[in-house]
Amino acid sequence: MDYDVLILGGGIVGCSIAYELSKYSLNVSIIEKELDIGNDVSELNASLTFDGMEINNDLNYYMEYYGNKNMKDITKSFNVPFKKLKSIIFEEDFIGNNNLIEKMYTRSIRRGIKGIQKISNHNLKFGLQAKVNVEFNKAIISKNWGVVSPYDLAIAYGEIAFDNGVNFRLGEKVIEIKKVSKGFKVTTTKNKFTCKFVINTIPDDDYKLGNKVKENISKNNNMKCFLINKKFKIKDIFVVLGENDEDIFIYPNFNGDTIAYVITKDEISYEDAFEKLKDKLPGINCDYINNSYSTQFFNDRIMIDDSKVSKGYIKIDGKNYGIVTMSQFIANTIRKMVIENIPSKPKKDFYEKRREVYRFRDMTNEERNRLISLNPKYGKMVCLCNKVTEGEIIDSIRRPLGARTIDGIRKRTGAMNGDCYGSYCMSKIISILANETNKDITEILEKSAGSNIIMSRIKQFKEI
């Protein structure tokens, strides 16, 4: 057998499983079709973490509860940005109101979730600072939600797994999985592998191996995301539950900007989504928007399908808005299932610590000077908006599982995510990446294969 375990898909779920399995004497590989891990996590540097209050399904509640309980410790040990924030969830006052707040509150009491408070319109006026304009009767406050940098978390899992021997096969697409006598044969666009155990985290695709008739009731709404610049400031997480499941989420990220999601059943234009947002945040206008993009809001039930575990196959089924919080539970559960089925021992030399990450923007002047004296490249500012230095860009490329694309550098360092969105620094970053990887600048990719940024050199300039 080539491997004990093959993990298919290098999203946050695949990486967290790789991290858990790397603690054991197992030969593990992860296969990811893209050139980097953690591709699907939000581009906007902060994902919400939940406490299970808002979710209907009891198993998924427990997944969130577990992740929420452990998020502070794991992010601290990985040096990943995370902060707990107060969240205020309003239900708009509309005809046919579903009494969601009441249901959420009753559910939270039944589940024993602490730190929850129900308030009325009256309490809010007297108690809380609010910048939102919502007609509501009841709201709920939770002290347990937070924001985490999702790709830092995915990359931290990946880096530690890599340092502890997990093999990452990036840029290989799985095209077939076949059951063979003592395990599985997995075919990719580049190779064929045999393994004892397959963990499939690729959403939807089970390559005809699972026996699942999709139980998930997909309620995938459309989502318009806006990155609002520092002219508008918000301290807490605000959620407005509107008519027809049309919800709005507003929360701060780690750069002092604000993230807003407008979720609607039908696809709507950016203009219409912005109008809906403006209705709730009367203080903003178009000049405040730095970036916007469109995606889907997934609300599937997440299931660990272990019906074929005795044969060596587990499938993670579904896509959900809360999976970043749930990933720790999923990874722990799968680790237990794997070690029950493949005899293995905890590694004595498992190395838990992640290599130091220096974030110039978060350092004191004293710390900055010390770092520059050790490596002068930390004294050269490349991204002026987000204060990212050349030293950080180079480190993001040289680290274990380092960035090989511009998007990988953006995710790891925050460069090109500021007010100018890379118009000032991207060309410098392309040159650094080309230099570090010994490539020509025309070979440098934005993200996936074929996404070259510079098409050709204007050689004629020399002759003019």
Ligand X SMILES: Cc1cc2nc3c(=O)[nH]c(=O)nc-3n(C[C@H](O)[C@H](O)[C@H](O)COP(=O)(O)OP(=O)(O)OC[C@H]3O[C@@H](n4cnc5c(N)ncnc54)[C@H](O)[C@@H]3O)c2cc1C
3-state DSSP of 227-248 = EECCCCCCCCEEEEECHHHCEE
Contacts with ligand X by CB under 6 A: the residue count is 31
Which C-beta is closer to ligand X: that of 9 or that of 391? 9
Residues 23-62 interacting with ligand X (rule: CB under 6 A) = 31-34, 39-42, 47-48
Cα–Cα dist 416/433, whole Å: 14
Question: How many residues would you count in the chain?
Answer: 464
Footprint of ligand X on 200-219 (CB under 6 A): 201-203
Taking CA atoms, 320 is separated from 1, 31, 325, in Å, by 34, 22, 10
Q: How far is the CB of 454 from ligand X (least distance, A)?
A: 25
Backbone angles phi and psi of 275, in degrees to 5: -60, -40
**Residue 391 beta carbon to ligand X: minimum distance, rounded to whole angstroms:** 29
Rounded least distance, CB 143 to ligand X, Å: 18
Helix axes 150-163, 58-78, angle to 10 degrees: 70
- What is the smallest separation between the CB atom of 152 and ligand X, expressed in angstroms? 13
User: Who contacts 84 (Cβ-Cβ below 8 Å, separation ≥6)?
Assistant: 72, 143, 144, 145, 146
Question: Could you tell me the smallest distance in angstroms from the CB atom of residue 148 to ligand X?
Answer: 8
Question: Which one among 140, 239, 284, 324 touches ligand X, defined by CB under 6 A?
Answer: 324
Considering beta carbons, is residue 52 or 322 the nearer one to ligand X?
322
- Near ligand X by CB under 6 A, which window of 92-100, 156-164, 319-327, 338-346? 319-327
b/e sequence 339-370, b meaning 16+ C-beta within 10 Å:
bebbebeeeeeeeeebeebbbbeeeeeeebee
Of 336, 308, 428, which Cα lies nearest the Cα of 380?
Answer: 428
Distances (CA, A) of 224 to 14, 249, 295, 351: 26, 11, 6, 40
Query: Is the Cβ of residue 8 or residue 132 nearer to ligand X in the bound state?
Result: 8
Residue 146-175 contact track with ligand X, rule CB under 6 A, x = bound: ----x----------------------xx-
Residue span binding ligand X (CB under 6 A) among the ranges 122-130, 322-330, 419-427, 429-437: 322-330
- Least separation in angstroms between CB 428 and ligand X: 27
The whole-angstrom distance between residue 48's C-alpha and the CA centroid of its chain comes to 9
Task: Please tell me whether residue 9 binds ligand X under the rule CB under 6 A.
Answer: yes
Nearer to ligand X, 164 or 320 (CB): 320
Residue 216 tokens, joined: 């998930």
Shortest distance (Å) from residue 327 CB to ligand X: 7
Beta carbons within 8 Å of 219's beta carbon, 6+ residues apart = 245, 299, 300
Whether 413 and 388 have beta carbons less than 8 Å apart is answered as yes
In angstroms, give the least distance from the CB of 58 to ligand X. 18
C-alpha distances out from residue 145 to 115, 116, 172, 236, 391, Å:
10, 10, 36, 10, 34
Please state, in angstroms and rounded to a whole number, the distance separating the CA atoms of residues 169 and 34: 9
Out of 30, 88, 273, 323, the residue judged to bind ligand X by CB under 6 A: 323
Of the two residues 153 and 393, which places its CB atom closer to ligand X in the complex?
153
CA distance 132 to 238: 8
Which lies closer to ligand X via its Cβ, residue 60 or residue 108? 60
Of 254 and 378, which has the nearer Cβ to ligand X? 254
Candidates 82-90, 197-205, 372-380, 445-453: pick the segment binding ligand X (CB under 6 A). 197-205
Q: If binding is defined by CB under 6 A, does position 225 make contact with ligand X? A: yes
Give the separation between CA 393 and CA 414, rounded to whole angstroms.
10
Instruction: Between 291 and 341, name the residue whose CB sits nearer to ligand X.
Output: 291
Contact 345, 25 (CB under 8 A): yes
Position of minimal CB gap to ligand X = 11
Contacting range for ligand X; rule: CB under 6 A; set: 8-16, 94-102, 418-426, 428-436: 8-16
Stretch of 72-80, 116-124, 199-207, 341-349 contacting ligand X, by CB under 6 A: 199-207
Cα(344)–Cα(338) distance, rounded to whole angstroms? 9
Nearer to ligand X, 26 or 186 (CB): 186
Query: Exactly one of 133, 191, 218, 295 binds ligand X (CB under 6 A); which one?
Result: 295
Residues 91-150 that bind ligand X (CB under 6 A): 150
Instruction: Tell me which residue has tokens 């912005």.
Output: 274
Q: Can residue 248 be called a binding residue for ligand X (CB under 6 A)?
A: no
Interior angle at CA 294, CA 290 and CA 296, nearest 5 = 140
**Contact set with ligand X (CB under 6 A):** 8-14, 31-34, 39-42, 47-48, 150, 173-174, 201-203, 225, 295, 319, 321-325
